[in-house]
Amino acid sequence: MGTEFFDEMRSSIEGCREPYRGLAEWLEGIPDDLIEQRRSEAELLFRRIGITFAVYGEARSEERIIPFDVVPRIITGTEWGRMAEGLEQRVKAINAFLADIYSNQEILKAGILPAELIFANPAFRPEMMGRKIRGDVYVPIAGIDIVRVDADTFYVLEDNARTPSGVSYMLEDREVMMLLFPELFSRYNVRPVENYPEELLATLQSIAPENAPREPTIALLTPGPFNSAFYEHSFLADKVGIELVEGHDLVVRDNFVYMRTTQGLQQVDVIYRRVDDDFIDPLTFRPDSALGVAGLMSVYEAGNVSLANAVGTGIADDKAIYSYMPEILKFYLGEEPILKNVPTHRCREPEALSYVLDNLAELVVKEVHGSGGYGMLVGPTADRKTREEFAAKLKEEPENYIAQPTLALSTCPTWVESGLAPRHVDLRPFVLTGTDKVRIVPGGLTRVALREGSLVVNSSQGGGTKDTWVING
Amino acid sequence: MLSRTADNLFWMSRYVERAENVARILHAASRMANIPGNDDGLTNEWQSALAASASTHAFEETGKDPTAENVFEFLAFSDANPSSIRNCLRFARTNARAVRGALTLDTWEAINGAWLELHRYRTDDISPSGLNRFVAWVKEVSLRVDGSAYRTMLRNDAYWFSRLGVYLERAENTARILDVKYHVLLPDTEPVGGGLDYFQWSAILRSVSALTAYHWVYRDSFKPWLIADLLILREEMPRSLASCYANLSNFLDELARTYGRQGDSQRQARRVYAQLRNARTDDIFQSGLHEFLVEFLEENNRLGTAITDQYLI
């Protein structure tokens, strides 16, 4: 079955695709044990720097490092140019959709989406109805997951419009690659990604409330050191040069939000929050949340603080909504989507459900509200019993699931125990939208499924990362 | 700077300092316990090690006998002892990790690296040579953390808060070591020419790494009042109470200057510092060394509370 997949290095008549030629030559020129040695150096570096993540529900593994693959993934400038256009278009549509959903709901009136998909959706926040968001930028930071299936076709697998993570790995992977393989960079003209923190800062500044000072005070709100992405939070706060705050560092007084400092209270204008909607304000959302700030929503509603991303953006990256993205995009922009959607069966529709149940062995079934690779069924690799159990769940709550064909995810050469071998990859580029302009650094996070044959790239499921090179040409 | 960040920095360095102090106490106890002719004092050394590291109560709760093995395990590795070296390094790292961005890469790596290396030490190797290796390693960790902070951190509030943690902890530790051993420093209980006293005194000095310093400063054989003088009043001695308070006042003044505001912690530090500068060894002995040290520990605690109230919450 391995031959059916598009390999980004080898799938070509001459044996090596043009953009990978330099890499292939270089790989042939160095002995295996040197690569292995650099690989373990990289691991040591990551551990020493403290780039770790936690896997929920696993005792004894409070912190692990995400395996880093030393073989870079290469994307040509032409491929990237097209992709970047598609990303910008897609995020523009997402923002337009959110602005509409939380105001006039023209898209529902036009009958493009079934209304219950919005109103019965836990990610929909009625509190946001009629709120004015500056420049209609609901999603300043988006992570769009993209998979490749052949030389020309890229699909959007998933939109992440809540609190997309992984950008720190994009930055650190590049850092480590430049440290370990400087000679490889002389063979290619690799476009830099290290300006991401500056671009993020400019984006966050642009969305500050209009009455905020010219240099607004910005803070990154983290759930704290026990969160799986805490390393990224502290890394970003540090690189961007903003305060890293936890809920109890912030306090609301007279409809403004302040942080407790060694010199007293200091007003905060923009919060890049890496805490989910449910937890940001115990007075509005979950009362048992200790991660948020009591009263934050009323400050937000008064327009005295900006949140990135806005509250309620989850309605746009819901997997059930995902299947409507092509229609959504056409509705708001009047354009054809540049990036395709994976064909998706909505199990809420009876015809689709019976098709899914009949073809479970060929499909990937996902929970509509799930993330991180939890609660999904990969039909072709699941055993019969697992499939039957899943079928029962499907019948019980069909509206909770969508199904997609098993995609022939492209593979990239990856360093594994036996040497170089093809492994499946995806790509998460990050799209920054300010009130002034859209900023996308060339590249993103490439995740690789390290297990042979595996299509699941999530770090919680044994995935690793690669440095992603967008090269000139 | 966020109050929580200041709090994390303060405790991070405080825990590293505590780890080093416990290591020194262990080292001194192990030497004393191995001195021939010290048979009946054997258990006592380990008990005073527990007292000097303020762990007596916690140890008693384990119900174990204060043997060399048990005390070493308890002070070095035990999870049940909040001040065990292992826990100190764990807490230091937890604090450091929470303020990763406020640290330089070197300082973070020193702390994180220590935590990773710690797993190399076997908790069941409680031989004297195992202890020596472990103690040497802990001291090295502390030097690495301290040195990297000294060489790489910006001289701003982040650095000052981390220094406050060091000196507050060090002052407490020196005072406690002295207090545990104060009876051997009292002239009226001095047995004539007792070889044991010599070892006791050198053990005190060793536990605050002042053995060589003593000879440099006094060029004299061990005299208990000079040992007290060195560890309490001599500012040139980096672990003396006076030196700790010179630093505490200095760093608190830096903070006050930068923030443009004085508070209780500045006043408290200056008051204790002035007392130490004006004190004389004779007077301390006359009014009671033990009483002096107990009062000092209370004052030191008060300063900790003042710093917390003023800046850290």
Q: What is the pLDDT along chain B (313 residues), one digit of tens a residue?
A: 999 999 999 999 999 999 999 999 998 888 877 776 554 544 478 888 998 898 999 999 999 998 888 999 999 999 999 999 999 999 999 999 888 878 898 999 899 999 989 988 877 777 888 899 999 999 999 999 999 999 999 999 999 999 999 999 999 999 998 888 777 666 555 454 456 677 778 888 888 888 889 999 999 888 888 999 999 999 999 999 999 999 999 999 999 999 999 999 999 999 999 999 999 999 998 888 899 999 999 999 999 999 999 999 8
Per residue in A116-167, pLDDT tens?
Answer: 889 988 899 999 999 999 999 999 999 999 999 998 899 999 999 999 999 9
Cα–Cα distance, A172 to A49 (Å, whole number): 10
* Minimal C-alpha gap between B8 and chain A (Å): 12
pLDDT at residue A57 in the model: 45
Q: For residue B109, what is the nearest residue in chain A, using CA coordinates?
A: A48
By three-state DSSP, how is residue A231 classified?
A: helix
Let me know: does B190 contact B38? Beta carbons within 8 Å.
Answer: no
Residue A250 and residue A221 in contact, taking contact as beta carbons nearer than 8 Å:
yes
Q: Which residue has the tokens 């790596």?
A: B109
pLDDT at A54: 52
Helix B128-152 to helix B85-98 angle (10° resolution) is 20
Which among A49, A234, A261 has the least Cβ separation from residue B3? A261
Cα A173 → chain centroid? 16
Are A231 and B100 within 8 A, CB to CB? yes
One-letter amino acid identity for B208? V
**Are B100 and A262 a contacting pair at CB < 8 A?**
no
Confidence grade of residue A62 (pLDDT, cut at 50, 70, 90) = low
CB nearest to B112's CB, from A50, A234, A263: A50
Residue contact B101–A234, C-beta within 8 A = yes
Question: Cβ of A258 under 8 Å from any chain B Cβ?
Answer: no
DSSP string, A394-432: HHH-GGGEEEEE-----EEEEEETTEEEEEEEEEE-EEE
Q: What are phi and psi of A76, to 5 degrees?
A: -80, 160
Distance CA A247, CA A292 (A): 5
For the record, the structure tokens of A428 come out as 């998460």
First-to-last CA distance in chain B?
Answer: 12
H-state helical runs in A190-311: 196-206, 230-240, 277-280, 296-301
Helix (H) or strand (E) holding B282: helix B281-287
Do A317 and A160 form a contact (C-beta atoms < 8 A)?
Answer: yes
List CB contacts of A60: < 8 A, sequence separation 6 or more.
none
- The radius of gyration of chain A's CA atoms, rounded to the nearest angstrom, is 22
- Short-list A241, A262, A245, CA closest to B164: A262
A241 shares contact with chain B (CB less than 8 Å): no
Instruction: Determine the distance in angstroms separating the CA of A250 from the nearest CA of chain B, rounded to an integer.
Output: 10
Interface TM-score (ipTM) > 0.85: no
What pLDDT is attached to residue B195? 64
| pLDDT of res. A45 | 82
* Gyration radius of chain B over CA positions: 19
The pTM for the full model equals 0.81
Cβ within 8 Å of residue B46, ≥6 positions away: B29, B33, B66, B67, B68, B70, B71
> For an interface test with B, which of A262, A267, A274, A293 has the most B Cβ atoms less than 10 Å from its Cβ?
A262
When CB atoms are compared, the residue of B1, B98, B261 closest to A261 is B1
- Structural contact between residues A401 and A344, judged by C-beta atoms closer than 8 angstroms: no
Over the range A147-176, which residues count as b (16 or more CB within 10 Å of their CB) and which as e?
bbbeeeebbbbbbbbbbbbbbbbbbbbbeb
Rounded distance, CA B102 to CA B110, Å?
Answer: 14
pLDDT of residue B34: 74
Q: How many whole angstroms separate alpha carbon B177 and alpha carbon A283?
A: 51
**What confidence score (pLDDT) does residue A118 get?**
93
The pLDDT value recorded for residue A72 is 96
**pLDDT score of A309:** 95
Cα(A18)–Cα(A225) distance, rounded to whole angstroms?
Answer: 44
Please check whether residue A32 touches B, CB under 8 A: no
DSSP of B72-118: HHHHHT-SS-TTSHHHHHHHHHHHHHHTGGGS-HHHHHHHHHHHHHH
CB atoms within 10 A of CB A132: 11
B3–A48 C-beta distance less than 8 A: no
In three-state secondary structure terms, B145 is helix
CA dist., res. A169 & res. A429, Å (int) = 12
Count A/B contacts: CB-CB distance under 8 Å. Answer: 62
Distance, CA of A325 to CA of A156 (rounded, Å): 10
Q: What is the mean pLDDT of residues A286-313?
A: 92
Secondary structure (3-state) at B197: helix
Contact B160, B1 (CB under 8 A): no
Q: What is the phi/psi pair of residue B138, to 5°?
A: -60, -40
Which chain B residues are closer than 8 Å to A218 by Cβ? none
Q: What is the mean pLDDT of residues A66-73?
A: 92
